[in-house]
């Protein structure tokens, strides 16, 4: 299977080279995206085969001067490769169906390279290959973010993303350099496992991999690029970035921390990941509940879900350090399951937001509304994704978040008192994040699809068809199936759980359609819940129809306003709740403390019938920190560098000699170590 995956990488490379020529015609663009969809199917099949068969390894006939590049497929990489393949199929099919329109993908030639970079990262079996794939992924996604560089907002997002991508790449290079410093056999994963780090080197590796992978995954405080870059990219690219690219970054984190850094780590390693996960979940969910742009809202929701996955990984690491193998498997299973589930419903939501942009020509929620009538297919499919993101049973989001909650509740089994207190706080904050996420999804769906159209373009929106509709049906179907069969997914992930937590650890806690956590005595049966919900819903509909005197028609209550004028056949948008108004309670309760939220109400003069206006906004404190001191520091460094131009020949020679002495001293120090 690994040979087929290597050939798939070659196909993507050929598509990347041919894309500039094919992009001049609509047929050529469709060829590129059809090829990308087929290769994604190969990735999904390879991931499934890798989970049910023995690991494979392959040495390529080329590579860096110090050795060949190596590829490998083991259960952990196979799980994330399955995620990449499923997301790639949906995103490529959506782009195939939208060669024309506001996001026409004719200039998006790096798309096959983007897929290839993510797949190469997952299949890498040495540090050089992994970093190469990671950097290809970063470069291609940066070009895709900057494809509409005529807009100042997109240029700003691309610059910020490039800065964080460079930071993450540099951190990963240093991370694998420190890992390889303990062995003379190169940067192959087998050699790195044989010489795990310890002491200060281990702490440095933890810090570097958190910076390198966390900056790409969107972990707080390295998250500020994500709400800007994801909306700037076309919708199918946003879907891949949010659903797949962030998971590739989490794969790198899990690979280093659980696998390459040794069989056991101190308890505080898990505590660090848990703290970062909880902070990300809260910040992402709160920002999602306040945003007024559909794609920005979904990007912030990704930060929240990445935080929950990281929380699960950190909890699994802590349980492993405390020699609680079964609970470690439950926490790791929750993390892997949520990674898959989030990939599916977030792909669905981003593609749905793209379809809304195509049909209603806007991403602003205050310019939408009432699309359930004009776009019933899109509304129904997006409802599945929004319900899953809100963790409503029996959909997929509930299953993985329920399992994570069970692992958090069992954290008292770890004997350290400080960890128990921290885990209790993490449980409460995670529950708050889930509630905020549900509020954000309710606000998103209600403002976009319910009510009356808020603009003429929304009133005349058009429905999707063809490949674009299939692109939404595919992840929506998987979201429902994964929600009803979480036990089978966990059984499929069992080899990956053994790799993360130890041979045979916790497998008795997982199985079948019903998920049972034997350590806590809890169980979850989604099929039974689904049947009960169907019966209750059917009974409610039957009772309502039996008791109702008949269908009554009348004007809708319009908050006391008179009928809209004739030039507004879609209704007066001022009589409906706005995005800022709907978020007002959360903005006042939490936004002022965490996001420096502000609002101003402009009341009309006495006797006027003009509506009042609400102006609201907020600032991410991390972005304020980056946008303030860092540019000033850059300007100071540039001014100092400018002074080098005035150096005399003697001063230039002296500076070069001083740098040479410093490098020699550094080499001597490293050699003695």
pLDDT digits (tens, 9 = 90+) for 447-456: 999 888 888 8
Better pLDDT: 659 or 514 = 659
Apex CA 34: angle with CA 31 and CA 39, to 5°? 120
Q: Does 504 have pLDDT greater than 70?
A: no
- Stretch 497-522: mean pLDDT: 64
- The enclosing H or E element of 334 equals helix 325-360
Strands (E) across 508-609 are located at 515-517, 522-524, 598-602
pLDDT value at residue 294: 92
Residue 44 in tokens: 């999904």
pLDDT value at residue 561: 58
- Stretch 161-187: mean pLDDT: 85
Report d(CA 250, CA 314) in Å as an integer.
Answer: 12
Residue pair 484/526 in contact by the 8 Å Cβ criterion:
yes
Q: Does 81 have pLDDT greater than 70?
A: yes
pLDDT value at residue 505: 47
Report d(CA 666, CA 663) in Å as an integer.
Answer: 5
- Stretch 270-284: mean pLDDT: 94
Percentage of the chain lying above the pLDDT 70 cut: 88
pLDDT value at residue 665: 85
Residue pair 158/142 in contact by the 8 Å Cβ criterion:
yes
Better pLDDT: 670 or 421 = 421
pLDDT tens per residue across span 605-636? 777 766 677 777 777 777 777 766 766 777 78
Better pLDDT: 328 or 183 = 328
* Extents of the domains making up the chain: 264-531, 577-600+612-623, 628-672
pLDDT tens per residue across span 443-488? 999 999 988 888 888 888 888 777 788 899 999 999 999 999 888 8
Residue pair 89/37 in contact by the 8 Å Cβ criterion:
yes
Q: Does 568 have pLDDT greater than 60?
A: no
pLDDT value at residue 533: 87
Better pLDDT: 531 or 279 = 279
Residue pair 213/250 in contact by the 8 Å Cβ criterion:
yes
304, 334, 457 from 311: Cα distances, Å: 11, 10, 42
How many CB atoms are located within 10 Å of the residue 422 CB? 18
pLDDT value at residue 76: 94
Whose structure tokens read 């939408």? 368
Report d(CA 227, CA 164) in Å as an integer.
Answer: 13
* Helix residue ranges per DSSP H, 376-451: 376-389, 396-409, 417-449
pLDDT tens per residue across span 396-438? 999 999 999 988 988 888 888 888 999 999 999 999 999 999 9
- Stretch 50-57: mean pLDDT: 88
Residue pair 36/9 in contact by the 8 Å Cβ criterion:
no
pLDDT value at residue 507: 44
- List the beta bridge partners of residue 381: none
pLDDT value at residue 514: 65
Of 11-15, 100-104, 652-656, highest mean pLDDT = 11-15
Under DSSP, the state recorded for 151 is S
pLDDT tens per residue across span 224-242? 889 988 888 888 899 999 9
462, 630, 631, 649 from 640: Cα distances, Å: 57, 15, 14, 18
pTM of the model: 0.90
In a 10 Å sphere around its CB, with 0-12 CB exposed, 13-18 middle and 19+ buried, how is residue 593 labelled? exposed
Report d(CA 450, CA 452) in Å as an integer.
Answer: 7
pLDDT value at residue 412: 86
Report d(CA 406, CA 38) in Å as an integer.
Answer: 38
Residue pair 51/75 in contact by the 8 Å Cβ criterion:
yes
Q: Does 593 have pLDDT greater than 70?
A: yes
* Average pLDDT taken over every residue of the chain: 84
pLDDT value at residue 560: 60
Q: Nearest-CA neighbor of 352 among 243, 437, 453, 226?
A: 243
Q: What band does 20 get if pLDDT is binned at 50, 70 and 90?
A: confident
Cis link prior to 221 (omega < 30° from 0)?
A: yes
pLDDT value at residue 263: 80
- The enclosing H or E element of 640 equals helix 629-642
Q: Does 22 have pLDDT greater than 80?
A: no
Nearest 5°: phi and psi at 617?
-175, 180
pLDDT tens per residue across span 192-215? 888 888 878 888 899 999 999 999
């Amino acid at each position: 299977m690994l040979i087929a995956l290597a050939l798939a990488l070659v196909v993507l490379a050929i598509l990347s080279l041919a894309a500039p020529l094919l992009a001049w015609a609509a047929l050529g663009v469709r060829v590129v995206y059809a090829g990308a969809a087929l290769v994604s199917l190969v990735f999904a099949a390879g991931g499934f085969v890798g989970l049910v068969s023995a690991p494979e390894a392959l040495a390529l006939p080329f590579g860096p001067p110090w050795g060949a590049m190596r590829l490998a497929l083991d259960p952990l990489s196979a799980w994330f490769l399955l995620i990449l393949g499923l997301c790639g199929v949906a995103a490529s099919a959506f782009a195939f169906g939208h060669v024309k329109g506001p996001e026409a993908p004719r200039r998006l030639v790096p798309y096959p390279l983007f897929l290839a970079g993510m797949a190469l990262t997952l299949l890498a079996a040495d540090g050089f290959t992994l970093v190469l794939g990671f950097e290809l992924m970063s470069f291609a996604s940066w070009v895709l973010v900057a494809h509409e560089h005529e807009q100042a907002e997109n240029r700003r997002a691309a610059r910020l993303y490039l800065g964080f991508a460079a930071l993450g790449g540099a951190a990963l290079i240093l991370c694998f350099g420190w890992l390889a410093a303990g062995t003379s056999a190169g940067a192959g994963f087998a050699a790195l496992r044989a010489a795990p780090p310890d002491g200060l080197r281990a702490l440095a590796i933890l810090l570097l991999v958190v910076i390198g992978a966390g900056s790409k995954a969107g972990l707080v405080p390295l998250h500020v690029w994500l709400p800007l870059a994801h909306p700037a990219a076309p919708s199918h690219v946003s879907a891949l970035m949010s659903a797949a690219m962030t998971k590739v970054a989490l794969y790198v984190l899990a690979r280093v921390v659980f696998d390459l850094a040794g069989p056991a780590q101190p308890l505080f390693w898990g505590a660090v990941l848990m703290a970062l996960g909880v902070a990300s979940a809260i910040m992402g969910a709160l920002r999602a509940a306040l945003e007024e742009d559909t794609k920005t809202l979904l990007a912030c929701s990704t930060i929240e879900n990445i935080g929950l996955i990281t929380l699960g990984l950190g909890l699994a690491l802590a349980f492993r350090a405390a020699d609680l193998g079964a609970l470690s498997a439950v926490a790791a299973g929750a993390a892997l399951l949520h990674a898959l589930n989030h990939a599916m419903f977030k792909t669905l939501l981003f593609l749905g937001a793209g379809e809304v942009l195509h049909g209603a020509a806007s991403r602003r929620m205050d310019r939408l509304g009432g699309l359930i009538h004009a776009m019933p297919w899109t509304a129904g499919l997006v409802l599945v994704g929004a319900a899953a993101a809100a963790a409503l049973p029996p959909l997929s989001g509930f299953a993985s978040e329920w399992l994570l909650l069970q692992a958090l509740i069992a954290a008292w089994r770890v004997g350290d008192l400080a960890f128990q207190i921290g885990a209790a706080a993490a449980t409460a904050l995670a529950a708050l994040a889930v509630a905020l996420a549900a509020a954000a999804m309710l606000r998103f769906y209600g403002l976009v699809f319910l009510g009356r159209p808020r603009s003429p373009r929304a009133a005349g929106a058009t429905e999707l068809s063809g490949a674009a509709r299939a692109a939404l049906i595919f992840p929506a179907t998987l979201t429902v199936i994964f929600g009803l069969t979480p036990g089978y997914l966990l059984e499929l992930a069992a080899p990956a759980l053994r790799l993360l937590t130890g041979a045979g650890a916790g497998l008795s806690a997982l199985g079948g359609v019903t998920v049972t956590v034997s350590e806590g005595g809890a169980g979850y049966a989604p099929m039974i819940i689904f049947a009960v919900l169907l019966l209750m819903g059917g009974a409610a509909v039957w009772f309502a129809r039996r008791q109702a005197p008949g269908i009554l028609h009348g004007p809708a209550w319009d908050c006391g306003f008179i009928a809209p004028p004739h030039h507004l056949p879609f209704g007066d948008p001022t009589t409906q709740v706005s995005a800022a108004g709907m978020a007002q309670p959360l903005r006042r309760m939490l936004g002022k403390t965490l996001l420096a939220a502000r609002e101003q109400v402009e009341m009309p003069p006495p006797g006027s019938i003009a509506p009042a206006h609400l102006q609201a906004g907020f600032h991410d404190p991390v972005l304020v920190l980056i946008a303030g001191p860092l540019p000033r520091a850059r300007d100071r460094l540039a001014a100092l560098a400018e002074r080098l131009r005035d150096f005399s020949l003697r001063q230039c020679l002296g500076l070069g000699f001083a740098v040479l002495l410093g490098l020699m001293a550094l080499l001597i120090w490293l050699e003695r170590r």
